[in-house]
Amino acid sequence: MKKVIATLIAGLFAGAAFAQTPAPATAPAAKAEAKEAKEVAKAEAKEAKQVAKAEAKETKAAASAAADVASAKADAKEKKAEAHHKAAKAKADAAHEKAAATPAKS
């Protein structure tokens, strides 16, 4: 009986000693996980920023292209109107010269 009690008491002391020692293996592992999670979050934020920047560039390029097309159309319309005006003026001048060159029948 003395041996059984001695074994139980020794077991209690061993259990108490084991419970008081810190677990050093879990602290670095948790730190490593936190660092990895931080790096992943940072990478995702960087990627999202780059995607947003690329989309903004595409939108700006599309708007610029639309503005260029509109400008080109306006220039073409203006040149067409100018050409029409010149042609009409040339026809009027030709008609005037023809009328001046032809003697009036009286």
Mean pLDDT of 46-73: 88
Mean pLDDT of 36-65: 89
Portion of the chain with pLDDT greater than 90, in percent: 12
Reduced to 3 states, what is the DSSP secondary structure of residue 50?
A: helix
Model confidence band, residue 14 (pLDDT cutoffs 50, 70, 90): confident
For residue 60 the two structure tokens come to 């700006």
Mean pLDDT of 66-83: 88
Reported pTM: 0.40
Mean pLDDT computed over every residue of the chain:
83
Dist. CA 37–CA 29, nearest whole Å = 12
Dist. CA 103–CA 6, nearest whole Å = 149
pLDDT of residue 24: 61
